[in-house]
Amino acid sequence: MATEERFVIVGASQAGTGAAQTLREEGFPGRIVLIGDEIEFPYQRPPLSKDYLLGNAARETVYLHPRQWYLDNNIDLRLDLAAVGIDRDAHRVSLADGSQVRYAKLLLTTGSSPRRLPLPGVELHGVHYLRRMRDSDSIKTMLQTTGRVAVIGAGWIGLETAAAARAADVHVTVLDSAPLPLLRVLGAEVAQVFADLHLDHGVDLRLGVQIAEITGHHGHVDGIRLSDGTRIEAESVIIGAGIAPNTALALQSGLTVDNGILVDEHLQTSDPDIYAAGDVANAFHPLLGKHIRVEHWANALHQPQVAAKAMLGQHVSYDRIPYFYTDQYDLGMEYVGYVEPDGYDQVVFRGDVAQRQFLAFWLREGRVLAGMNVNIWDVTDQIQALIRAGAPVLPDHLADPGRPLESFIAQ
């Protein structure tokens, strides 16, 4: 491979930086241009709603690499610079400063952005979203000075920020239109665990509600009004209503987009010289036999390794089982697998649910689709193996802590 060959990565994220690192580890001798629209050096996102937000992690620990690493690996890192266009015929990326950069292969790791709610009052001072480091910094500062915060959205970001606010002794109201938090992700059986967790820690859960507006006084938030007229006082509002993939660049260039940039199991787009990875990629999963888009850290960590190797011509596929984790109060959890809403017919618990020390398994026709360990550790490998095996299990046996998980894998 000619040393003058240039690979360009748009998105100086966990995924983009991971791809650059893999390219060098695999011996790619050419130029690597890593383009990011943030002023910060590439960093990890999970701490932004966890340890960093809680003040338990120093800023420097969130960065993926020190400045010298990019110099040592001859990576042309261009920060605070957005990519605004792709000329696929000319193999050029146009940048916001008017410059262009040629590519032999291009990787899009443009990530996602918070969904903006069409609510009156969202432009008031005191309304926060959480996606970037500056957002986490802003919320961290707010939690030191406010007494009451309302969180719109009982998903992962909403619940993690609620937990951080309670740790700061802030009164928290969480609002969601669903009857339980995380209902679409976990189903009613396990979602109740998280409802009880937050209730036990003093969160005012308002579920099954519709929000009419965010109210304010002199340009600053002072509360939320529900559609039934109920008013909730709040000095600040955090909106955690999910994220949407950043596909504008892909759409503009004519790539196939469907709930993200559509890619195959090699993370290759409809253009053979362009790849995508991370939140923005809707990838075909060989094990599941369909396209899925996973908005979690593990994808951003592992997908770019496959994308980088595929860009180098290696025959590789991404078939990792989806994984995510959360830490809220005294509950630590890991989840592996993939289950769509109503895609299972049974949940099997193993352990003590009341004490929040248990495993949960989502089954369909006796086969394990996903598993979650709560305050029990070093079992994710066994759960993944159980999912891959695809063998039917007896629910009563699976619920028995006395039966090793390995015994089900061997069936």
Per-residue pLDDT reduced to its tens digit, 160-179: 999 999 999 999 999 999 99
Domains contained in the chain, number: 3
Based on the fold, state whether residues 303 and 376 are members of the same structural domain: no
Q: Looking at residue 75, which CATH number applies to its domain?
A: 3.50.50.60
My answer on whether 122 and 41 are in the same domain is: no
Which of 279, 311, 343 is the last residue before a domain boundary?
311
User: Quick check: 138 and 156 in contact, CB under 8 A?
Assistant: no
What is the predicted pLDDT for the residue at 410? 64
CATH number at residue 372: 3.30.390.30
Residue 361 lies inside a defined structural domain of this protein: yes
| The pLDDT of residue 229 is above 50 | yes
Residues 272 and 372 in one domain: no
* Residue 397 predicted with pLDDT over 50: yes
Do residues 394 and 340 both lie within one domain?
Answer: yes
Residue 341 belongs to some domain of the structure: yes
Mean pLDDT of the region 339-345: 92
What integer best gives the mean pLDDT of the chain?
96
Whether residue 121 is found in the same domain as residue 233: yes
Does any domain span residue 50? yes
* Same structural domain, 27 and 57: yes
In a shared domain, residues 48 and 11: yes
Confidence (pLDDT) at 411: 53
- Please compute the mean of the pLDDT values over residues 259-267 and round it to a whole number: 98
Query: Are 101 and 191 contained in the same domain?
Result: no
Whether residue 72 is contained in a domain is answered as: yes
Same domain, yes or no: 229 and 285: no
pLDDT at 1 over 50: no
Residue 324 lies in a domain: no
Do 107 and 125 share a domain, yes or no? Answer: no
**pLDDT value at position 409?**
82
Average pLDDT rounded to a whole number, residues 57-61:
95
- Bridge partners (DSSP) listed for residue 326: 333
Which one of 311, 346, 364 terminates a domain?
Answer: 311
What is the average per-residue pLDDT within 296-315?
A: 96
Give the pLDDT of residue 2. Answer: 46
- Predicted local confidence at residue 53, as pLDDT: 94
Q: State yes or no: pLDDT of 398 exceeds 90.
A: yes
Percentage above 70 pLDDT, the chain: 99
Q: 195 and 181 in contact (C-beta within 8 Å)?
A: yes
- Does a structural domain hold residue 1? no
When pLDDT is averaged across residues 31-56 and rounded to a whole number, the result is: 95
| 38 located within any domain | yes
Range of the domain at 160: 116-241
Report, as an integer, the average pLDDT of 191-207. Answer: 98
Task: Tell whether 265 is covered by a domain.
Answer: yes
Kindly state whether residues 292 and 344 are assigned to the same domain. no
Of the three residues 182, 215, 241, the one that is the final residue of a domain is 241
- At which residue do the structure tokens 């966990």 appear? 14
94 and 128 co-located in one domain: no
pLDDT of residue 242 exceeding 70: yes
